[in-house]
Structure 1
Amino acid sequence: MKYTALFFTLLISQLFFAQVEDAWVFFTDKENVEQSIDNPLTILTQAAVDRKALHNIPVDERDVPVNEAYITQLKNQTGITVHAKSKWMNCAYVRGSQSQIENLLDLAFVQHIEYADKSLNFVSGTQPLEDKFALESTAKNFEYGLATNQIEMLSGDVLHTEGFTGEGMVIAVLDSGFEGVDTETGFAYIRDDNRILGVYDFVNRTTSYGSHTHGTRVLSTMGGLLENDFAGTAPDASYYLFITEDVSSETPVEEAYWVEALERADSLGVHVVNTSLGYREYDNPAYSHTYEDLDGQTTFGARGANHGFDKGLLLVTSAGNSGNGSFPWIGTPGDSPGMLTIGAVDENENAAGFSSQGPTVDGRVKPDIMAQGAPAYVINQDNEIVSNSGTSFSSPITAGLVACLWQARPEYNNDELMQLLRESAHLFNNPTDKMGYGIPNFETALETLLSTNAFVSNPFRIYPNPVTHTINLEFPDTITEARLGLYSTSGSLLFETTLNQNTNRIPVETLAAGVYLLKVQSASQVQTIKVLKE
């Protein structure tokens, strides 16, 4: 009996110490960095190089791939499996016991390790998880024109009437699976025209469309077409389909898959990325994110999104479906300032109760804007037009129209388009936690873009806007100095100063929240810009 007890004690001890952990392993360097940057076509496609050049985005060390020799050495370590990698953050996502992962620090090329279980980064009765797709129940409806309201609500029909249907734009869809896209007639319009540019499953490392249907329905709101019955918001765009969601479990490796897919999208010259996924709660509670983590800088997903934004991608994501729960806030990567985060409204433009809300822990407005998602109409894997509810569908409805808008003036950058859409929304002057800046008007945004004087009469640019602490004034190349005055909406002058290209920051942290008017005057130009102080 004593020996039996000892055996089980030892067994339990061994099982405890052999517990599997997930972690990111960050590397010290990369190989051939200067050579790769000098010859960008060795690491990027021509489309990616052209897009970066158009928006003056430099090729830098983040574009250089992870050293594959490092990945091979990690795979050769006892007990270690490598699941994903990130060139932007120069790291790999691994799984193994804590001791096996700690042993990786002995490798000369390992800089540091971040565990998914955050408690391990400081020192060496679970409730059931919410089903992130639970609200997206399906109801059949075959009435004509069911997609009409979700497009016209955003004035997306105006874009299409003007000929902006996504032609020449590339959208990446990061999701859980695309069953039926390769066979059903609802996707024949993009499929037969060879506008499905690539399919890749980052979870299983295959080129399969997958067996899950969530991505199928998401894609249909952008690229689906059933003549006389249904049209997506960007029917003439081209698409990459990437599976990053492991539907069998919830672990942080999905954030790693997602970032890796984002990097792939950037290297392929993608313009717009739609993500109808979000992350907060994991099977292992120690890995889950708290509200304090959702500051747009902490989670691996948010950090990846910030890199993607810096690289010029326009990133659109769903706000989430937890608005009625005990944790109503937006998860990650929707907390990133580089994401255009989309909430859901019903057909009458009322906020859906399930739509996750802001603000972020650092006080930023989220969601950014809203679109129809309670319900939205989609094409499913059986080629049926059905209604689905969830921010998973308000996001791609918006993403498709973003691509159409960008088609009109591709010289605009991602930041400018995102701000233009916020300013076009009906609550821009009075954002709320539930609806952010409200429902955007793509007709208004298009009119601004197509104005013949848009670039001449508005040479100055400010960022960020909305602002919390400091306004940055960006000068055009031909102007070196300007007089600036900040006014209340009633016309009272609050302060004025002179700025130049070297001194272009305006502190506003002492101002009360609200709307202000910034008047910028140079020798040849006068411009008034609306500023929202949070």
Structure 2
Amino acid sequence: MKRFYVLILFVSTIIFVIWAALELNKNTDGYLYGNSLRQNRLVNTIRLHKYGITGERIKVGVLDAGFYAAHSVFADTKILGEYDFVTNKSTTFNKDHIKGVKHGTNVFSVIGGYLENDLIGIAYGASYYLAKSDKSSDRLWEEETLAVRASEWLYENDVDIITTSLSFNKCDNADYYYPHQMDGKTTRITQTADSIVNKGVLYFCSAGNKFESEWRIIEPPADGFNVLAVGAIDKFGKHSFFSSCGPTVDGRIKPDIAAPGEGVWSAKYDPKFETQFGWDHGTSLAAPIAAGVAALVLSTHPNLSQFELMEAIKNSSSKADSPDTLYGYGIPDAEKAVSYFGPAFSNTPIFEIDGNELTIETYVFSSNGVDRSSVEVYLLEGESEKQSSYKMYEIDDDHYACEIELENLDADFSIYFTAKDKRGKLTKYPAGKIGDNFILKIINERAELL
């Protein structure tokens, strides 16, 4: 009997150890990100996500061949609208073009998806508009016209960033455009994309997968003057064998940057199989990953122009000092990019009320180092013209807090933050397109943002 109890104790101990190990594993990056950890690491987003920098309040337009928005990875994704320019319907799922649905689902998932232990998109906190312009798996001449209309529709919906992984060089199974026309002036989709950038929206596209073919160079709209063409790298950060190169025929550096596009973990759609995720490759995956980095930057510096945003991404990438025609300016580094113009704050600070005491917490990050003495929060109470500033103190690495005694809990409170990095560059947050203040109200003894 004694041996029996010893055996029971031994087995119970083993079970407990296994359970404890599994529970501890749930707190690791490897568990949270699943196989998508690799692509997130390559563009350096992990810490930013932990700090609450996820692309909140930024609107991204994704133009592709179809989407399965009912996939579990999009359960919490903010989809503001979708439109199919082939069927003129407000849904981008079309069972008659399953290959298109597969492609668009792959693409959308790596930027906007979120499912713990499976896949975390680069900018999962952003909001999205989805546009479908493909009619079939064969590129048709009319699809460029539809892509032009779709791009304009996304612009009209006031998106901040557009990304597409569609390209146009052959139509109706024949040459439609030619390599010698990759001059940024000839193709209609390139002209449209460039005009949208000039009106304030950053436009990303895949460079193309023609490196080993006669075509070889980037495909439209990647030849645009201000379109950010994204080439592909493998898991070691090396140029992918298929990723189209530059320069344009007028000698400009292309692609502009390069992002993970070989061995990328993405969501799958196939009505014949239950597998929801898998590895994929192509510059089609690289473009949305790079666009996701841009969304993180813009969410922390929403006052940036499209050209300042472009500058932050290019000049903080791995080959900024020596761009070439395989990598462009290199692999984006999200941490350096969000720090380029100054420190980055959490997209949404934490506000808690206890009696009359308001506690405020936020992360403040810079790859250049934060001047800790400069971190402040400003508060304007109700209709008062008196604005008060409060020094915040560091409670953990890059994690700041302060406590404020409020006089009138019925008032609305206008709040913003400032901080400098060790170069002396100042950030005020929020700012620009998302407004100059957070508006806070105390409702039922809870601090809530309006």
What is the TM-score when the length of structure 1 is the normalising length? 0.55
What aligned pairs does 1:13-412 form with structure 2 within 5 A after superposition?
Answer: 145-179=34-68, 182-190=69-77, 195-208=78-91, 209-211=93-95, 212-283=101-172, 285=174, 288-381=176-269, 382=274, 384-412=276-304
How far residue 422 of structure 1 moved from its aligned partner, in angstroms, is: 1.1
What aligned pairs does 1:471-482 form with structure 2 within 5 A after superposition?
Answer: none
How far residue 144 of structure 1 moved from its aligned partner, in angstroms, is: 6.5
Which position in structure 2 is the counterpart of 1:30? Answer: none
Given candidates 394, 412, 418, the residue that maps to 2:310 is 418
What aligned pairs does 1:436-455 form with structure 2 within 5 A after superposition?
Answer: 436-451=328-343
How far residue 158 of structure 1 moved from its aligned partner, in angstroms, is: 3.2
- The answer to whether the 8 A contact 2:105-2:268 is kept is yes
Partner AA of 2:301 in structure 1 = R
Residue 405 to residue 152, structure 1, CA distance change in 2 (3 Å) = same
Deviates further, 442-451 or 341-350: 442-451
- Segments of 4+ in structure 1 off by > 6 A? none
SS at match of 2:55: coil
- The answer to whether the 8 A contact 2:138-2:173 is kept is no
CA distance in 2, matches of 1:213, 1:284: 21
CA distance in 2, matches of 1:144, 1:173: 22
- The answer to whether the 8 A contact 1:150-1:372 is kept is yes
Residue 414 to residue 144, structure 1, CA distance change in 2 (3 Å) = closer
CA distance in 1, matches of 2:199, 2:166: 21
SS at match of 1:450: coil
- The answer to whether the 8 A contact 1:302-1:334 is kept is yes
How far residue 451 of structure 1 moved from its aligned partner, in angstroms, is: 4.3
CA distance in 2, matches of 1:420, 1:348: 24
CA distance in 2, matches of 1:304, 1:252: 16
Residue 225 to residue 451, structure 1, CA distance change in 2 (3 Å) = closer
Which position in structure 2 is the counterpart of 1:493? Answer: none
Partner AA of 2:160 in structure 1 = H
- The answer to whether the 8 A contact 2:111-2:292 is kept is yes
Partner AA of 2:70 in structure 1 = T
- The answer to whether the 8 A contact 2:32-2:117 is kept is no
- The answer to whether the 8 A contact 2:290-2:332 is kept is no
Partner AA of 2:293 in structure 1 = L
How far residue 268 of structure 1 moved from its aligned partner, in angstroms, is: 1.0
- 5+ residue gaps, structure 1, are 1-141, 455-534
- The answer to whether the 8 A contact 2:141-2:172 is kept is no
Residue 145 to residue 202, structure 1, CA distance change in 2 (3 Å) = same
1:345-403 deviation line (CA, Å, top 9, x unaligned): 01000100100000000100000111111111101125622000101001111111211
Residue identity (%): 36
CA distance in 1, matches of 2:203, 2:196: 8
CA distance in 1, matches of 2:89, 2:149: 14
Partner AA of 2:335 in structure 1 = E
Residue 383 to residue 398, structure 1, CA distance change in 2 (3 Å) = farther
Which position in structure 2 is the counterpart of 1:485? Answer: none
How far residue 284 of structure 1 moved from its aligned partner, in angstroms, is: 5.6
- The answer to whether the 8 A contact 1:147-1:376 is kept is yes
How far residue 159 of structure 1 moved from its aligned partner, in angstroms, is: 2.6
CA distance in 1, matches of 2:94, 2:61: 16
CA distance in 2, matches of 1:270, 1:143: 29
SS at match of 1:404: helix
Partner AA of 1:435 in structure 2 = Y
1:309-338 deviation line (CA, Å, top 9, x unaligned): 111111111111111111110010010012
1:460-497 deviation line (CA, Å, top 9, x unaligned): xxxxxxxxxxxxxxxxxxxxxxxxxxxxxxxxxxxxxx
1:424-460 deviation line (CA, Å, top 9, x unaligned): 1221222221111111212112122224999xxxxxx
Which position in structure 2 is the counterpart of 1:435? Answer: 327
Partner AA of 2:178 in structure 1 = T
How many residues are aligned here? 306
Partner AA of 1:377 in structure 2 = W
Root-mean-square deviation (Å): 2.1
How far residue 273 of structure 1 moved from its aligned partner, in angstroms, is: 0.8
SS at match of 1:407: helix
How far residue 248 of structure 1 moved from its aligned partner, in angstroms, is: 4.4
1:141-177 deviation line (CA, Å, top 9, x unaligned): x997211111111112233233210111111110001
- The answer to whether the 8 A contact 1:145-1:230 is kept is yes
Partner AA of 1:418 in structure 2 = M
CA distance in 1, matches of 2:64, 2:181: 23
Residue 451 to residue 186, structure 1, CA distance change in 2 (3 Å) = closer
Which position in structure 1 is the counterpart of 2:361? Answer: none
Partner AA of 1:186 in structure 2 = V
Partner AA of 1:316 in structure 2 = F
Which position in structure 2 is the counterpart of 1:89? Answer: none
- The answer to whether the 8 A contact 2:53-2:299 is kept is yes
- The answer to whether the 8 A contact 1:203-1:243 is kept is yes
